[in-house]
Amino acid sequence: MKKITLVFGLIFLLSSSIAESDDASEAYVETEEEVPTVDIPYKSPEILEPSRVYFSEHFDDPAEVEKRWVRSEAKKEGISEDIAKYDGEWKIESPLRDGLIGDKGLVLKTQAKHAAISSPLKRPFVFQDKPLIVQYEVTLQDGQQCGGAYLKLLSKSSQPLHLEQFHDKTPYTIMFGPDKCGGDYKLHFIFNHRNPINGSIQEKHSKKPSERLEDLINDKHPHLYTLVLNPDNSFEIFIDNKLVNSGTLLDDFMPAVNPPAEIEDPTDKKPEDWDEREKIPDPAAVKPEDWDDDAPAQIIDESATKPDGWLDNEQPHIADPNAQKPVDWDSEMDGEWEPPLIDNPACESAPGCGTWEPPLVNNPAFKGKWRAPLIDNPNYKGKWRPKLIPNPDYFEDKTPFKMTSVEAIGFELWSMSKDILFDNIIITEEITIAQQWAADTFQKKRQKIAKDSVSHVIN
């Protein structure tokens, strides 16, 4: 395990020092003997094109975070009073391990409590002709037994925002991120679709990612989750910049966005005389004269004889002559004591003891019960199905991308493990902005981890 870490760490350092010519990777000499002492320098990332960014948060400035984020004071309905309150604790903290100097994150400190926190976007994201890119980091610093680390993009409504009342029923447009319970690992991408006929809202769940999530969720390292959703309804999901899921809103969600154009007529009934039997017993077949339904399957082997030396007068098992009644045996409670049975030693050298019975053999005359052979049913009509009628609820939405606008972002979670660290959230319409943001943050963390694992192994 440690060897693998070392190899990966070295590859990482090698590739990063090739890619970046002017940074700290040249500030020290890497040798087997010398443990690197210079840290990966970090400064909070900056947004160069604010007009293309709807939200960004690096959590490095606790005073700013407190201004922008709102802890929920809501109560969850329909559950027992002692856990109903959203009273899980959120803190702005440095990572417990491998932290960069000056880098902080939002940490869900508590376990087995509901916790919710949210923040308004700088301006709403309206689903029109620009892609939506959502990216953030999760570090399950204490692993995860059972709980989510997904975020919700809260829907814009006609009411003013009341983020202090954020709870599980607060309408959201998209839910995205990892979730684990026991052996069940998920990477959610759920969106809420508005039925164009009656306006009802239904959750649509994406197909599963191609990647196994076990190692990512269990390794306690930071991981970067990126969702790219395009106006042509296509989507891509990346973990640590690696594509793990892709498809379209129309083809890869359950239940499907668009209902079927035709449905089976619920009033249609199978006619009484509909014959669904593909084969029937041949009505013309007759039982042969000599067929005996009752002949037994096995008969006594008449040719068998009792082996020489068989001891008719000895029983195969006898009471153990050495057994003794236990001293605490209570005949009232336990019944009359009887010695246990053992194999009769007299039978050891004999072919058998007790009454000899001839063995059974298969009966050559056995035929079983006579049945007429099966033939194709001349009246067979195939499997009955109700007739199809036009679906009264049918609609065709060709642009499910045009979801309800988003005006806030939030975490609404329950976790059985503490210290989940979230960091570097960005919502933008330009993938290269998200990529640069990750290069300034996430990539540096991974460099630091690679470096720490190298020095760890050398030490």
Ligand X SMILES: *[C@@H]1O[C@H](CO)[C@@H](O)[C@H](O)[C@H]1NC(C)=O
Element (H, E) at 83: helix 81-84
Among 195, 246, 399, 405, contact with ligand X (rule: CB under 6 A) = 195
Whether 229 and 131 have beta carbons less than 8 Å apart is answered as yes
Judged by CB under 6 A, the number of residues near ligand X is 4
Choice between 202 and 379, CB closer to ligand X: 202
Q: Which of residues 388-417 bind ligand X (CB under 6 A)?
A: 393
Partner residues linked to 248 by β-bridges = 234
- CB-nearer residue toward ligand X: 10 or 263: 263
- Is 179 or 397 the residue whose CB approaches ligand X more closely? 397
- Say whether residue 200 binds ligand X (CB under 6 A): yes
Minimum Å gap between C-beta 58 and ligand X is 42
Q: State which residue has the least CB distance to ligand X.
A: 393
203 binds ligand X, rule: CB under 6 A: no
First to last CA, the chain: 15
For ligand X, give the closer residue by CB, 384 or 394.
394
Part of the chain binding ligand X (CB under 6 A), chosen from 78-86, 141-149, 192-200, 219-227? 192-200
**Do strands 420-428 and 105-108 pair parallel, antiparallel, or not at all (unpaired)?**
antiparallel
Min CB(195)–ligand X separation in Å: 5
Separation CA 242–CA 245 (nearest Å): 9
Q: Of the two residues 195 and 234, which places its CB atom closer to ligand X in the complex? A: 195
Residue 345 carries which DSSP code?
Answer: G
Least distance CB 193 / ligand X (angstroms): 11
For ligand X, give the closer residue by CB, 89 or 393.
Answer: 393
One-character DSSP codes across 10-32: HHHHHHHHHH-SSSGGGSS---S
Minimum distance from residue 207 beta carbon to ligand X (Å) = 22
Q: Does 355 bind ligand X (CB under 6 A)?
A: no
Q: From the list 37, 198, 324, 331, which residue makes contact with ligand X (rule: CB under 6 A)?
A: 198
DSSP structure string for 267-310 = T----TT----SEEE-TT----TT--TT--SEEE-TT--PPTT-
The CB-of-42 to ligand X minimum distance in angstroms stands at: 51
The answer to whether 337 and 378 have CB atoms below 8 angstroms apart is: no
Report the half-sphere exposure of 254 (CA within 13 A, side-chain side).
4
**Which residues make Cβ contacts (< 8 Å) with residue 53, sequence separation at least 6?**
47, 122, 426, 427, 428, 433
* Binding positions for ligand X, rule: CB under 6 A: 195, 198, 200, 393
